[in-house]
């Protein structure tokens, strides 16, 4: 298991650019709310820790992880002044193939948003075998994938800024 022995919340804070000038959007799935709220808190607190003002963070909720792609697309269209968007969701394996279709659809959809648009979308969708694994990665014993996503969002916003001529 890739996360075993690693804490998703541990990183070199001095290597992260100051994000005080950046604006971020966060689209959060309401499905598996205990998990997604933990991920949101990790992302939100990390953005603030690196200088992002609370008023420069926009949050939208969508019903489930499959709807994240549409929510992120609409956020890209509505807020062209955003520097990055974080898509937060949690899909837990069940007894049917529904898990596979949702995971594939969301990952492909977010990839397409990144290829076709200028505002980077960070994939913060847990795809776990059970609820305990999701809880362990949303503020539990393995840290918080939301923290990791916020760090990625800041780095991508900086890359976007530096790549402009």
The secondary structure element, H or E, covering residue 46 is helix 33-49
Instruction: Confirm whether residue 107 is marked as ligand binding.
Output: no
Consult the annotation and say whether 65 binds a ligand: yes
CB–CB of 29/126 below 8 Å? Answer: no
Q: DSSP for 125-141?
A: EEEESSHHHHHHTEEET
140 alpha carbon, distance to own chain's centre:
17
Does 31 belong to an annotated binding site? yes
Query: Among 20, 98, 141, 161, which one carries the catalytic annotation?
Result: 98
- Cα(49)–Cα(67) distance, integer angstroms: 29
The H-or-E segment that residue 62 falls in is strand 57-62
Q: Confirm or deny that 90 is annotated as ligand binding.
A: yes
- 111 assigned to a ligand binding site: no
Residue 50 appears among annotated catalytic residues: no
| 85 contacts 124 by C-beta, under 8 angstroms | no
User: Is 92 annotated as contributing to ligand binding?
Assistant: yes
Q: Does the annotation place 67 within a ligand binding site?
A: yes
Q: Catalytic site residues?
A: 98
User: Which residues fall in the annotated binding site?
Assistant: 31, 65-67, 90-92, 95-96, 123, 137
Which residues are annotated binding-site positions for (2S)-2-hydroxy-3-oxobutyl phosphate?
Answer: 95-96, 137
Residue numbering of the annotated binding site for 5-amino-6-(D-ribitylamino)uracil: 31, 65-67, 90-92, 123
């Amino acid at each position: 298991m890739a996360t075993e022995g690693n804490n998703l919340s541990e990183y070199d804070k001095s290597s992260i650019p100051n994000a005080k000038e950046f604006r971020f959007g966060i689209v959060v799935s309401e499905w598996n709310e205990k998990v997604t709220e933990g991920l949101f808190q990790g992302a939100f607190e990390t953005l603030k820790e690196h200088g992002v003002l609370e008023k420069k963070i926009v949050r939208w909720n969508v019903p489930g992880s499959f709807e994240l792609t549409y929510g992120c697309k609409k956020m890209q269209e509505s807020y062209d002044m955003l520097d990055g968007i974080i898509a937060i969701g949690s899909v837990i394996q069940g007894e049917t193939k529904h898990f596979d279709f949702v995971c594939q659809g969301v990952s492909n959809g977010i990839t397409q948003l990144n290829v076709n648009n200028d505002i980077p979308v960070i994939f913060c969708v847990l795809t776990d075998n059970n609820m305990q694994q999701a809880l362990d990665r949303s503020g539990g014993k393995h840290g918080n994938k939301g923290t990791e996503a916020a760090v990625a969002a800041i780095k991508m916003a900086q890359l976007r800024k530096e790549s402009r001529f």
